[in-house]
């Protein structure tokens, strides 16, 4: 196993962080453009949201299939295939002359993004020691937030100055060079054994993960958390370019610098888990995010920015804890488990967009808060349910039945 601070550790963490940065640059490139694109294609806010939702929905649909494929061909091969496909799909976008074709191209981008996102954490779990992984996961998710920031700012500023086609072109070129760097830097796996004909086993693994409440509730928490986080930003973009603020797209896109608060909080989760309970950490992050949404109600830029900072800090804190929880609690088929978490995560983001943007269209930020409170309440309920099932699971392990004690040795032999 690769140990903390070793040469291979630095290669793994840097190359996966770079790959993650590229993935999230491309995923979020169009988010700040949504108000501009709505005018460009003369459609409503809800309709133009398909430019963002198409990629997240396609990504979520392809996560598990890519994870299954990685069991046969290897995590590294799947990740590199996805990264190298991304700039070419960017070229397809440049040829799209209608909203429908552009949405289809964005869906294809989601398929490519899923290849990397579905197995990167599984690669780390398999190759890094437990200590090294606990440090690496925070950096990996921090790269997610930095990629999201960069993609949105590039999308917004270049679109404002030159048009959306130029923004797509610059991103495609940058992605091509970054993908080539990852090809040369990412070490080949040493602790992975290819397994073919595993589709039936993965279907069983999916069912088992979903039936395991201590894993499934964490996945649901991640989905609802992302539904709130990413779409509160989308709504804020529409809010800032509308009356009375009337900010240009390029300037409004700078709100995504508030994501830096999430970069900080995702790194802080390793400190939290050393001395405190993970579930209480998820609830703490949710409280901070909720406070940010309420503060952003005040229609003045300083309060809106403060609200976004708190939303980012809390949401990334919750996400990092939930993501690592699933990785640790899944005792088998870890790639499938982490991919399944991301399915919930991005489906939540896609559905949440139509929900919160609808609230914005029909009632402004006040109705967004009403819809948001419903989602925050769902997270708190899920945290309580997760805590309940985790306690039940712990008690069962501490006081096994006679049958379980008899079967335990056989289970260990099978695991070997």
Q: How far apart are CA 117 and CA 203, in angstroms?
A: 20
CB 136 within 8 A of CB 324: no
Cα–Cα distances (Å) from 37 to 31, 34, 96, 312, in that order, read: 10, 5, 13, 25
pLDDT of residue 409: 40
pLDDT tens for 126-138 read: 899 888 988 888 7
Name, of 207-211, 274-278, 313-317, the range with top average pLDDT: 313-317
Tokens matching residue 398: 């501490």
**pLDDT > 80? residue 331:** no
Confidence of residue 395 (pLDDT cuts 50, 70, 90): low
Give yes or no for a contact between 48 and 37, defined as CB atoms under 8 angstroms apart: yes
Compare 267 and 401 and report the one with higher pLDDT. Answer: 267
Q: In 3D, which of 190, 205, 211 has the Cα closest to residue 68?
A: 205
- Whether residue 100 has pLDDT greater than 90: yes
Q: For 136-155, write each residue's pLDDT tens digit.
A: 887 887 888 789 889 999 99
pLDDT surpasses 80 at 226: yes
Nearest CA-CA partner of 151 in 230, 217, 61, 223: 230
What pLDDT, on a 0 to 100 scale, did the predictor assign at position 370?
Answer: 95
Name beta bridge partners: 2: 128
Better pLDDT: 85 or 138: 85
| Contact call for residues 315 and 269 (beta carbons, < 8 A) | no
Say if domain 7-187+199-395 classifies as CATH 1.20.1250.20: yes
Does residue 166 surpass a pLDDT of 70?
yes
Q: What is the pLDDT of residue 97?
A: 84
Confidence (pLDDT) at 415: 36
CB 380 within 8 A of CB 79: no
CB 137 within 8 A of CB 324: yes
Calculate ∠ Cα 158-24-7, nearest 5°: 120
**CA distances from residue 230 to 75, 134, 196, 281, 337 in whole angstroms, order as listed:** 28, 25, 37, 20, 23
- Least Cα distance to 86 among 147, 33, 34 occurs for 147
Structure tokens at 113: 């993004």
Q: pLDDT-derived band of residue 207, with 50, 70 and 90 as boundaries?
A: confident
**Closest to 336 in 3D by CA, of 56, 68, 59, 60:** 68
Q: What would the mean pLDDT of 389-393 be, rounded to a whole number?
A: 77
Q: Is 191 exposed, middle or buried (0-12, 13-18, 19+ CB in 10 A)?
A: exposed
Given a contact cutoff of 8 angstroms between Cβ atoms, the answer to whether 241 and 248 are in contact is yes
Cα dihedral value 182, 202, 195, 326, nearest 10: 50
**Residue 279 Cα distances to 230, 271, 285, 344, 416, angstroms:** 22, 14, 10, 18, 31
Computed over every residue of the chain, the mean pLDDT equals 88
Q: Would the pLDDT of 386 be above 50?
A: yes
47-56, 63-72, 177-186, 286-295: range with lowest mean pLDDT: 63-72
pLDDT tens-digit series, residues 399-415: 655 444 443 444 333 33
Q: What is the pLDDT of residue 404?
A: 42
Q: Is the pTM here over 0.75, yes or no?
A: yes
Q: In the block, which residue shows the tokens 């405190």?
A: 276
Instruction: Please state the domain extents for the chain.
Output: 7-187+199-395
Write out the two tokens for 406.
């008899």
Q: Is the peptide bond before 244 cis (omega within 30 degrees of 0)?
A: yes
Contact (Cβ atoms closer than 8 angstroms) between residue 232 and residue 357: no
Rounded mean pLDDT, 95-110: 94
Q: What is the DSSP string of 336-377?
A: HHHHHHHHHHHHHHHHHHHHHHHHHHHHHHHHHHHHHHHHHH
CA distance 97 to 111: 21
* pLDDT given for residue 199 in this prediction: 66
Q: What percent of the chain has pLDDT over 90?
A: 62
Give tens-digit pLDDT for 227-260.
999 999 999 999 999 989 999 999 999 999 998 8
Q: Do the beta carbons of residue 30 and residue 51 sit within 8 Å?
A: yes
> What DSSP string runs through 301-329?
HHHHHHHHHHHHHHHHHHHHHHHHHHHHH
pLDDT of residue 414: 33
Q: Tell me: pLDDT of 286 over 80.
A: yes
For the ranges 203-207, 264-268, 292-296, the maximum mean pLDDT occurs at 292-296
- 120, HSE (Cβ side, Cα atoms, 13 Å): 33
Count Cα atoms within 13 angstroms, Cβ side, for 189: 21
Q: Give the pLDDT of residue 172.
A: 97
Indicate if the pLDDT at residue 19 is higher than 50.
Answer: yes
Average pLDDT over residues 31-52: 93
Which of 24, 60, 52 has the alpha carbon at shortest distance from 340?
A: 60
pLDDT value of residue 70: 87
Render pLDDT for 356-376 as a digit per residue (tens, 0 to 9). 999 999 999 999 999 999 999
């Amino acid at each position: 196993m690769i140990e903390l601070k070793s040469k291979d550790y630095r290669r793994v963490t840097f190359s996966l962080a770079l790959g993650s940065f590229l993935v999230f640059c491309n995923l979020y490139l169009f988010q700040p453009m949504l108000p501009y694109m709505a005018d460009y294609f003369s459609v409503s806010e809800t309709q133009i949201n398909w430019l963002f939702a198409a990629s997240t929905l396609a990504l979520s649909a392809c996560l598990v299939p890519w994870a299954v494929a990685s069991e046969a061909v290897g995590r590294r091969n799947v990740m590199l295939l996805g990264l190298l496909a991304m700039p070419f799909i960017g070229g397809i976008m440049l040829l799209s002359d209608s909203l429908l074709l552009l949405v289809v191209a964005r869906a294809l981008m989601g398929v490519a993004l899923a290849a990397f996102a579905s197995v990167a954490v599984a690669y780390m779990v398999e190759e890094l020691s437990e200590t090294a992984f606990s440090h690496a996961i925070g950096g990996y998710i921090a790269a997610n937030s930095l990629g999201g920031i960069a993609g949105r700012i590039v999308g917004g500023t270049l679109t404002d100055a030159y048009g959306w086609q130029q923004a797509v072109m610059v991103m495609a070129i940058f992605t091509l060079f970054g993908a080539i760097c990852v090809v040369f830097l990412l070490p080949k796996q040493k602790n992975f054994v290819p397994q073919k004909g595993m589709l039936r086993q993965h279907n069983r693994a999916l069912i088992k993960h979903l039936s395991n409440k201590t894993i499934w509730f964490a996945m649901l928490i991640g989905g609802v958390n992302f539904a709130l986080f990413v779409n509160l930003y989308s709504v804020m973009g529409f809010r800032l370019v509308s009356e009375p603020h009337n900010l240009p797209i390029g300037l409004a896109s700078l709100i995504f610098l508030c994501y830096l608060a999430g970069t900080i909080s995702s790194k802080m989760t390793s400190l939290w888990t050393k001395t405190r309970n993970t579930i209480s950490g998820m609830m703490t992050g949710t409280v901070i995010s909720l406070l940010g949404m309420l503060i952003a109600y005040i229609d003045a830029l300083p309060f809106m920015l403060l609200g976004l900072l708190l939303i980012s800090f809390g949401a990334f804190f919750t996400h990092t804890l939930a993501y690592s929880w699933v990785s640790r609690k899944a005792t088998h088929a870890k790639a499938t488990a982490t991919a399944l978490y991301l399915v919930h995560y991005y489906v939540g983001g896609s559905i949440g967009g139509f929900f919160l943007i609808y609230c914005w269209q029909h009632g402004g930020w006040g109705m967004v808060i009403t819809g948001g409170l419903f989602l925050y309440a769902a997270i708190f309920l899920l945290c309580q349910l997760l805590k309940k099932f985790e306690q039940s699971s712990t008690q069962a392990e501490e006081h096994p039945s006679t049958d379980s004690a008899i079967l335990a040795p056989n289970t260990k032999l099978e695991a070997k």
